[in-house]
Amino acid sequence: MDYGKERVVALVDMDCFYVQVEQRLNPALKNTPCVVAQYKTWKGGGIIAVSYEARAYGVTRNMWADDAKKLCPDLQVARVRESRGKADLTHYRDASVEVIEVMSRFAVIERASIDEAYMDLTSAVQQRLKSLTDQQIDPQLLKTTHVQGYPEPPPHHEESAPDAATDKEEQRSKGLQQWLCSVSGVDGCAELQLAVGAVIVEEMRAAVEEHTGFRCSAGISHNKVLAKLACGLNKPNRQTILPLDSIPELFNSLPISKIRNLGGKLGASITEMLEVENMGELTRFSQAQLEQHFGDKTGQWLYDLCRGIDFEPVKPRQLPKSIGCSKNFPGKTSLVTRDQVQHWLYQLALELQERLTKDREMNGRVAKQLTVGIRQLGDKKPSSFSRCCALARYDATKISSDSFAIIKSLNTAGNHQAA
């Protein structure tokens, strides 16, 4: 089998997920410019999810609801529930479980976040290919599928005016058919597997919508990095196949930060050290050069990655690895007395106790370790200090007193004062 094309991997990600959860609870919000905001005390609350109708007005995540209303006067604002003085995400977590449950009927999945999951479709695809005697796929089975890089642009010297005028659906369908022709009937063509994978994902997405009412997008390619990238190319409610031969063109103008795991520090250091902006530019460096800069493992990984190759397996895992909760106290609201710290630690511990107990009942597992993280005034990172200890019992009083003992050492005021 062709190198780098061994597997079929998909990533499914819900469209404006918290918004869809609120729209299902309150159908008056459907098909409207709408956001989900957290807390109301400051400028109408911070926006954490935005409907596609609202995005058309320029509304984005992290804006204040009051500012967003200036851009879009008809904006509807749904509120995150609060309990014990903090955001309560129970609705969204429960909706996530519903979605994951439907997806799991189709494939073994790796839950990657509250609203997305990877799946390795290789064996499911091989099963289907056996019954596909003529090695042809009907484009009618791929009604919401785009193929990145198709239709192929006409050579520069040709007249391209008629194409430029055609609409998105026409382009989609033309590109899909062009690509299907190029992969069909070729016995053992690795890219044909992507087409079969896309058929399965169309069925999965239709089932998710039928059973939950939620819409999603998906990416289908040969590995996790490419599947994730593909998923974002035609949102919302669409899926995108990313064939390996479309990679050079796509990576030519793709900022390094857009790639999974390169959005943070590593991506920034690549840009700085090698003076490159786009993913494609990395192909200019030899494997030895990349290893010299970033170490053997990362260097090798980058060498493959800029060619669209990545070997990270899909790990079968439906449940989150950890259960955590946190609350920020920005600026003037920061906690300054021991009583305040103890009060909030106890509120967080109560939420943990409740969620841990539910998790034990639902999933028959027991947490063994407690990690406490805090952020002090002026820290840039969300958590600048973290330590762990054993978690012996699901008991809020015990959890909060253990947490307090852990963070006590950071108190510069001395432990005998209220400050």
Short-list 10, 313, 306, CA closest to 145: 10
Query: Tokens in use for 268?
Result: 């920034």
User: Taking each helix axis from N to C terminus, what angle separates 296-305 and 287-294, rounded to the nearest 10 degrees?
Assistant: 130
Q: From the list 9, 11, 12, 14, which residue makes contact with ligand TTP (rule: CB under 6 A)?
A: 14
Classify residue 85 as left (phi > 0), alpha (psi -120 to 50) or beta: left
Residue 328 CB, nearest distance to ligand TTP (Å)? 12
Element (H, E) at 137: none
Residue 217 CB, nearest distance to Ca ion (Å)? 8
Please choose which of ligand TTP, Ca ion, none residue 191 contacts, taking the beta carbon within 5 to 8 angstroms, the exact cut-off set by kind.
none
Stretch that binds Ca ion, among 5-13, 154-162, 182-190, 275-283 (CB under 5 A): 5-13
Q: Which of residues 126-165 bind Ca ion (CB under 5 A)?
A: none
**Cis ω for the linkage preceding 236 (within 30 of 0):** yes
Q: Which of residues 19-38 bind ligand TTP (CB under 6 A)?
A: none
- 14: contact with Ca ion by CB under 5 A: yes
Size of the site for ligand TTP (CB under 6 A): 12
Residue 21 CB, nearest distance to ligand TTP (Å)? 8
Residue 388 CB, nearest distance to ligand TTP (Å)? 25
- 407: contact with ligand TTP by CB under 6 A: no
Residue 19 CB, nearest distance to ligand TTP (Å)? 6
Please choose which of Ca ion, ligand TTP, none residue 120 contacts, taking the beta carbon within 5 to 8 angstroms, the exact cut-off set by kind.
none
3-state secondary structure 263-298: CCHHHHHHHHHHCCCEHHHHHHCCHHHHHHHHCHHH
Size of the site for Ca ion (CB under 5 A): 5
Between 50 and 391, name the residue whose CB sits nearer to ligand TTP: 50
Q: Which of residues 70-129 bind Ca ion (CB under 5 A)?
A: 115-116
Please choose which of Ca ion, ligand TTP, none residue 402 contacts, taking the beta carbon within 5 to 8 angstroms, the exact cut-off set by kind.
none
Between 115 and 291, name the residue whose CB sits nearer to ligand TTP: 115
Q: Which of residues 208-237 bind ligand TTP (CB under 6 A)?
A: 235-236
Is residue 77 classed as helix, strand or coil in its secondary structure? strand
Short-list 19, 15, 13, 17, CA closest to 68: 19
Element (H, E) at 187: none
Stretch that binds ligand TTP, among 16-24, 25-33, 139-147, 206-214 (CB under 6 A): 16-24
Q: From the list 15, 22, 120, 202, which residue makes contact with ligand TTP (rule: CB under 6 A)?
A: 15
Query: Tokens in use for 204?
Result: 């999965």
65 within 8 A of 49, measured Cβ to Cβ? no
Residue 49 CB, nearest distance to ligand TTP (Å)? 4
Please choose which of ligand TTP, Ca ion, none residue 335 contacts, taking the beta carbon within 5 to 8 angstroms, the exact cut-off set by kind.
none
Max Cα separation, the chain? 81
- 250: contact with ligand TTP by CB under 6 A: no
DSSP 354-417: HHHHHHHHHH-----EEEEEE--TT--SS-SEEEEEE-----HHHHHHHHHHHHHTT-TT-TTS
- 18: contact with ligand TTP by CB under 6 A: yes
- 374: contact with ligand TTP by CB under 6 A: no
Stretch that binds Ca ion, among 9-17, 43-51, 78-86, 266-274 (CB under 5 A): 9-17
Contacts of 19 (CB under 8 A, 6+ apart): 29, 34, 35, 36, 49, 50, 51, 78
Please choose which of ligand TTP, Ca ion, none residue 49 contacts, taking the beta carbon within 5 to 8 angstroms, the exact cut-off set by kind.
ligand TTP
Between 17 and 394, name the residue whose CB sits nearer to ligand TTP: 17
- Report d(CA 101, CA 9) in Å as an integer: 19
- Report d(CA 291, CA 122) in Å as an integer: 31
Residue that the structure tokens 């033309």 belong to: 174
Q: From the list 13, 110, 202, 402, which residue makes contact with Ca ion (rule: CB under 5 A)?
A: 13
Q: Which of residues 173-192 bind Ca ion (CB under 5 A)?
A: none
Stretch that binds ligand TTP, among 7-15, 120-128, 257-265, 277-285 (CB under 6 A): 7-15
CB atoms closer than 10 angstroms to residue 21:
25
- 49: contact with ligand TTP by CB under 6 A: yes
Element (H, E) at 69: helix 65-71
- 115: contact with ligand TTP by CB under 6 A: yes
**Each residue of 296-325: b (16+ CB within 10 Å) or e?**
eebbebbbbbbbbbbeeebeeeeeeeeeeb
Interface with ligand TTP (CB under 6 A): 13-18, 48-49, 114-115, 235-236
Interface with Ca ion (CB under 5 A): 13-14, 17, 115-116
